[in-house]
Structure 1
Amino acid sequence: MEMKKEQYQYIWYSLHKLISEDKDTEKIYFKVSPKISPYMELNMEEINYAALDKEYILETNPFYRFTHVFNEFMNPDLPIGEKLKGEMVNILLHMLGNLDLQEGLNKRIILNRIIIRELEEGRYGEEIQKCFSVLNRREKIAIADGIQDKYRYDREWEIFKKVMSKIYKDSIIYDSIDEQEKIIIYINEKKSSENKKKELLIEKLFMPLGLKSRCFWGAHFPVLGVDEVMRIGEMVIF
């Protein structure tokens, strides 16, 4: 399963990936990177474990989250050999990574994996399955995140808008002045069969009951006082 880009930076990700593929996590060897980045825990974004038949060395920044654990331990004046220190770093990071896997963030990712599989298998209905099939992996994760939030927080309207903005970054949702239970959706994308399926999927899964929608694709309708949407040939009549 594809993860969000920022999730690749954590030590638990490499362990989770191997566990999900029934591979041996002991073949990973964590070591302190000679060039520590202050912005990430691992020095690489993506790892290919397809042919993992020997020890795989991962360079890490143990101070990214675990300064309290490693600050004294990594003191260069500590009377301990470098080889033993390296072995202890590896053991500690394995332990911390496995503890990570018990935390909520990672539980969420595992649940996303289950939700995506159920959507792909048609457990939410055939129409949902067909619409879901046109999404890429990033978009599928956004949908799974939304489903978790929907059942956890029960705030359908906020979640609907959040998921819409994740799938279509350049989109706007308006309340209809004429009809209280109607919303207007503007999506700055081509009105293709694939995009229509994505928009329908979001409505089916997240739009609050009782609401109706009207969707505008590409060209925006005119709004008085907003020059960007009042250009002739670049707007549609509402």
Structure 2
Amino acid sequence: MGLNYIWDLIIRGQELGIAKKDIHFLPAKVYSPYMELSQEDLNAMTVERDVEVNPYYRFYDIFNGMFDINNTEDIELRSTLFDILIHFLADIDLMQGMNKREYYIRFVLKDIRDGLLGKLVQEHISLFDREEQETIAANVLRLYDTGEALHLLRCMVSRIFQYSTIYANSEEKDELLLYIGQRENETAVKKLQLIMELFLPIRYRAEVYWSDHFGIIDEDSTMIQDHIALY
């Protein structure tokens, strides 16, 4: 199913890495009275930089008479105002579907991008997709509410690294053994660094194992010759 509304298009643009400011809304010259976006391909899921909109589908009272075919004055000014107003209306659309918790998540993401949670976090947050970033922010809020850092660390590691396992060695020392279950690469390392920066308790130290597991007696999958990491 294609994009139907301006808010729909803005969200899709964010998923594709297109900022709202880079989308330019234009009053449609030819449009269906039953649709808000005027696209040649009704099932298109891509986002063009110039988007034609039928302003009368939902916002007749606002735009009535603004683009009368007989009015040929100040066309450029009216087009600029149209773009500004549609962006404003799209923002209202997006906010109407948000609850208080979602507002807090956006505040946390802004703090992260502004560097308030540290330079490492600020630099690495862009490596995560939109949904992952919101999960990180939501778990930062949970950390403030509950203080359950280890639980949130485990949740985040398993969320980002599908084949990971975390072992705790709390009897002798506060230590975590993180088996990631994939080959080490620069992006994965930076993602793990961010997670540990936010959720690893200060008193804990962590050992990270990537594709090779340390040996565990009676666990055959961890005792493969030439693929046993030293602990």
Q: TM-score range by the shorter chain?
A: 0.5 to 0.7
Closer, same or farther: CA 116–212 of 1 in aligned 2, 3 Å: same
Match of 1:119 among 112, 118, 139: 112
Is the alpha carbon distance of 1:15 and 1:194 closer, same or farther for their aligned partners in structure 2, counting shifts above 3 Å? Answer: closer
How far residue 45 of structure 1 moved from its aligned partner, in angstroms, is 10
Residues 20-35 of structure 1: pairs in structure 2 closer than 5 A: 21=20
Question: Superposed, which structure 2 residues align to 1:54-203 within 5 Å?
Answer: 54-55=53-54, 101=96, 104=99, 107-176=100-169, 179-203=172-196
CA deviations on 1:14-58 (whole Å, 9 max, x unpaired) are 39849x94899xx9x888xxxxxxxxxxxx8957374332239xx
Contact kept? 1:12, 1:101, Cα under 8 Å: no
Q: State the structure with more CA Rg.
A: 2
Q: Deviation of residue 175 (structure 1)?
A: 1.0
TM-score w.r.t. structure 2 length?
0.59
Looking at structure 1, the residues matched to 101 and 49 of structure 2 have their Cα atoms a distance apart, in angstroms, of: 25
Q: Structure 1: how far apart are the matches of 2:126 and 2:9?
A: 28
Distance in 2 (alpha carbons) for counterparts of 1:198 and 1:46: 29
- After superposition, what is the alpha-carbon deviation per residue over 1:77-125, rounded to whole angstroms, capped at 9, x for unaligned? xxxxxxxxxxxxxxxxxxxx96993553xx4444433333332232222
**Aligned in 2, Cα 1:54/1:129: closer, same or farther, shift over 3 Å?**
closer
Give the unaligned 5+ runs of structure 1.
1-7, 32-43, 57-96
Aligned-partner Cα distance in 1 for 2:98–2:131 = 22
Rounded Cα–Cα distance in structure 1 between residues aligned with 2:95 and 2:150: 32
Equivalent pair of 1:142/1:166 in contact (CA under 8 Å): no
CA distance 1:138–1:198, change in 2 (3 Å): same
Aligned-residue CA RMSD in angstroms?
A: 4.1
The verdict on how the C-alpha distance between 1:52 and 1:16 changes in structure 2, with shifts beyond 3 A counting, is: closer
Say which SS state the counterpart of residue 53 (structure 1) adopts: strand
Instruction: Report how far residue 134 of structure 1 moved.
Output: 3.4
Please tell me whether residue 215 in structure 1 is matched to residue 201 in structure 2: no
Q: CA deviation at 1:232?
A: 0.6
Tell me the SS of whatever aligns to 1:191.
coil
CA distance in 2, matches of 1:99, 1:140: 18
SS of equivalent residue, structure 2 residue 50: coil
- Using the alignment, how far apart are the partners of 2:94 and 2:130 within structure 1? 27
Match for 1:209: what amino acid? I
Cα separation, partners in 2 of 1:46 and 1:178, compared to 1, 3 Å: farther
Q: Which amino acid aligns with 2:168?
A: D
- Give me the identity figure in percent: 20
Q: Which residue of 2 aligns with 1:51?
A: 50
One-letter code of the match for 2:121?
A: I
TM-score by length of 1: 0.57
Unaligned 5+ segments in structure 2 are 14-18, 36-42, 56-91
